[in-house]
Amino acid sequence: MDRFVFLTFDGLSRGAVYSAFALALVLIWRGARIVNFAQGAMAIATVYAAYSVTSATGSYWLGFGAALLCGLALGAVVERGVMRFVGHASPLNAVIVALGLVLVIQAVLGMLYGNEYRPAEAPFSRTAFTVGGLAFLSRYDLFVFAAVVVLMVGLALLFTRTPVGLRLRAAAFAPEVSRLLGVNVAGMRTLAWALASAVGALAAMLIVPTGLGLHPTSMDLVFVTAFTAAVVGGLESPLGAVAGGLAVGLLLSYVSGYAGAEMSPVAVLLLLLAVLLVRPSGLFSTVAARRV
Amino acid sequence: MKSTVVRHLALTIAAAAALLALTYGLEPFRNYQLATAAAYLCATAGLTVLTGLSGQLSLGHGALMATGAYPVALAQNEFRDRDISGGWVLPVSLSIGVATALVAGLVVGLAAARLRGPYLAGVTLAVAVIVPALTTAFDSVFNGDQGLSVYVAPPPMSLGYDFPYERWQAWIALTGALLVMFLLANLLRSRYGRHFRAVRDDEVAARLAGINVARTQVLAFVVSAACAGLGGGLLAVLAQSVSPGAFSLTLSLFLVMAVVIGGLGRLAGAAWGAVLLVLLPEASHSVTEALSLSPSAAQRLDGNLPLAIFGITLVAVMLLAPGGVQGLLSRAAGLRRRTRGWSDPGAERQHSAGR
């Protein structure tokens, strides 16, 4: 029982990060109908930026801010510089271009920082509190929850309560009409990419200290996991991404707790296959949200 | 049909003769490179059939190569431990590898036939990332990150005492590659090849014409996986070792790059791609040597320069040659081919959705 409680909290903490990362995928999918396969590489690049800033200044929080800013900038640059020019006749074009970006980003990181694993420091203790002999959460887990909740509330407010959010949603759902009504659709798409990339940066900052280590490829498996979470949620819905992320986090925590950590990648693959074969539109999708 | 087979056979024999002469002309290191290119060619040719001709993108072919390579390692070592030797041992091991990859390809292919666009890419990407991780999960069999060494018998004595080992390796790998090319060339000219292209060009029309689309797609995946398995097995024999690091996601992406850059939809393109995979790292190595950097900087540049070049080339090809590559790829997704310009966001929105 103790173990189950611990694994549940651990799973929710990890799942919160997958939710954030899946949310980044959903943001771009809704805004541009592209699954950003370069998300993991872009996110790890921002963590390296944070690492440089933190080493130079000695402040974790300056590094944290740098990662988010770098995420915004990187997203905008990738959209303006590359993705905007991809032919959309086939969804595979964007996938292949994104994979090219993965190689470029990982190569550049390898050239700048080297291909060895670097330990990443967590800003808070990762030792779990114990209440009455039961291990619950660590300070770091609480920080992760707080960060993800702030992120979600912030995004929800942005999208539902601000004029920019309205334009973002309009540009995503009805680009032609929005353009006629004077919305800068291309600009909104760039903004969606920048936001998504910053969200990815946040998620990477939260997950890299939990044992992944800093390496140009260390987000590969996280990307696959977050993709699975987004597919579980249906790629369309932000709420689905959150739910999917938590579900995948719990599943992985139980699998690695009861069957061994090395089995969790297998569980991801099986879950992804199962969801896609049974309900390709995602478990949380309501009616066909839209057929294009 | 018959004349096509005869023509392909004649071409294969001519190529074999030319390559045989070539192996006598090349120095050992070049022979080894030739052998490596031949091993890659098995995989790139398979991927060309899958992506270029049947319209399914696989990001997991590096992992499928691993499913061919590990059984070869296990079989070769098992034969050695039992003191079994003979000319038939290596072909049997390679067949075991191909059979394993074939089964893996069947499993992935059954899923792939129901998926489109980014979903298919996502599943095959998961395969590429997760299969190498399996070696840690089953540590006792696969020996984790270290991998296994592969026992390979020396060249037969009948070739002479001082027969260069690299030439022998080149013969083994080239035999495999020529076999793959011969079989694939015939397959593509057969009924099944026409089915592949029909499904790629227009799934609905293919279905109306009485083609079982799902079965055709699975068949393409199985054939392609078997080729990748042979390529992986040959790589294991050449390197005399297998490890998860050799079959990482990067290899899978490199294979995609190779077939895209080499030219999708034509087997000859696969050959160019394979040669590129061997020569590019070497070329970047000589560049870094010429730059006379500090050893650590040179090492960083050395491993990463080919990645960067491949990545940039790929992005450039996709952006600058939307007619050629994109035309094929748009059919690859089973969508109607669009000749419309790529800067028309209105058109983009309607045609870029997966399922």
Residues in chain B with CB shorter than 8 Å from the CB of A265 are: 129-130, 133-134, 137
Asked if A220 lies within 8 A of B249 by C-beta distance, the reply is yes
> Which residue of B248, B301, B333 is in closest CB contact with A111?
B301
Is the Cβ pair A103, B308 closer than 8 Å? Answer: yes
**Does residue B234 contact residue B176 with C-beta atoms inside 8 Å?**
yes
Mean pLDDT of B92-101: 95
**To the nearest whole angstrom, how far is the Cα of B108 from the nearest Cα of chain A?**
9
* Residue B119 · residue B235 · CB < 8 Å: no
According to the model, what pLDDT value does residue B298 have?
A: 80
The C-alpha of B131 sits at a distance from chain A's nearest C-alpha, in angstroms, of 8
A277: which chain B residues are within 8 Å (Cβ-Cβ)?
A: 111, 114
Q: Does residue A174 belong to the interface with chain B, where contact is any CB pair within 8 Å?
A: no
Model confidence at B350: pLDDT above 50: no
Cβ A110–B296 below 8 Å, yes or no? Answer: no
Count of H-run helices and E-run strands, chain B? 15, 2
The rounded mean pLDDT for chain B is 83
pLDDT at position A174, please? Answer: 85
Show the tokens assigned to B42: 């098995």
pLDDT at site A134: 67
pLDDT tens digits, residue range B122-159? 889 988 988 888 887 788 888 888 888 898 888 887 88
Distance CA B332, CA A93 (A): 10
Confidence class of residue A2 from pLDDT cuts 50, 70 and 90? confident
The SS3 call for residue B149 is strand
Checking if the pLDDT of B166 tops 70, the result is yes
Among B247, B23, B47, residue whose Cα is nearest residue B129: B247
Residue B247 has pLDDT above 60, yes or no: yes
Would you place residue A116 in the very low, low, confident or very high pLDDT band (cuts 50, 70, 90)?
confident
Contact between residue B232 and residue B43 where contact means Cβ atoms under 8 Å apart? yes
Residue B115's pLDDT is 83
Q: Which residue in B126, B136, B135, B74 sits closest to B99, CA to CA? A: B74
How many angstroms separate the CA of residue B96 from the nearest CA in chain A?
23
Exposed / middle / buried, residue B88 (Cβ in 10 Å: 0-12, 13-18, 19+): exposed
Chain B environment of A217 (Cβ under 8 Å): 248-250
Taking the Cβ of residue A157 and every Cβ of chain B, the question of whether any pair is shorter than 8 Å is answered with no
Q: Do B118 and A115 touch (CB under 8 A)?
A: no
List pLDDT tens digits, range B274-322. Answer: 988 898 888 888 888 787 777 777 878 888 888 898 899 888 888 876 5
Whether the Cβ atoms of residue B153 and residue B90 lie closer than 8 Å to each other: yes
Q: Exposed/middle/buried for B64, CB within 10 Å: 0-12, 13-18, 19+?
A: buried
pLDDT of residue B326: 44
- Most confident listed range (A77-86, A133-142, B296-305, B345-354): A77-86
Distance CA A80, CA A76 (A): 6
Cα B162 to Cα A205, B25, B157: the distances in Å are 58, 16, 9
| Residue B260 to residue A96, Cβ atoms within 8 A | yes
Read off the pLDDT of residues B31-77 as tens digits, 9 standing for 90 and up: 999 999 999 999 999 999 898 888 888 999 999 999 999 999 999 99
Q: Choose the mutation target among B276, B329, B340 for the interface with A, i.e. most A CBs under 10 Å.
A: B329
DSSP helix/strand/coil, A129: strand
Domain ranges across chain B? 4-246
Q: Considering only alpha carbons, which residue of chain A is nearest residue B254? A: A103
Q: Which residue of B has its CA nearest to A109?
A: B304
Let me know if B77 is exposed, middle or buried by CB neighbors in 10 A (0-12, 13-18, 19+).
middle
Tell me, what's the pLDDT at B339?
41
Instruction: Answer yes or no: do A89 and B326 touch at CB < 8 A.
Output: yes
Model confidence band, residue A277 (pLDDT cutoffs 50, 70, 90): confident
At B291 the three-state DSSP class reads coil
How confident is the model at residue B330, as a pLDDT?
52
The 3-class SS string of A5-65 reads HHHHHHHHHHHHHHHHHHHHHHHHHHHHCCCCCCHHHHHHHHHHHHHHHHHHHCCHHHHHH
pLDDT in tens, A123-135: 888 777 777 766 6
- B260 to chain A: nearest residue by CA? A96
CB A36 within 8 A of CB A208: no
What's residue B331's pLDDT? 52
Q: What is the mean pLDDT of chain A?
A: 88
Percent of chain A residues topping a pLDDT of 70 = 94
For residue B260, what pLDDT is reported?
Answer: 82
Which chain A residue's Cα is nearest to B300? A111
Query: Residue B121 has what pLDDT?
Result: 87
What are the φ and ψ backbone dihedral angles of B95, each rounded to 5 degrees?
A: -65, -40
* pLDDT tens sequence across A252-273: 999 988 988 888 888 888 888 8
The count of other CB atoms within 10 Å of the CB of residue B334 is 21
Q: Name the pLDDT band for B323 (thresholds 50, 70, 90).
A: very low
Q: How many residues does chain B have?
A: 355
Residue A131 has phi, psi (to 5 degrees) of: -120, 115
Report the C-alpha gap between B132 and A289 in whole angstroms.
Answer: 36
Question: CA–CA separation, B69 vs B104, rounded Å?
Answer: 13
What domains can be seen in chain A, in order of their start residue?
1-278 (1.10.3470)
d(CA B55, CA A117): 38
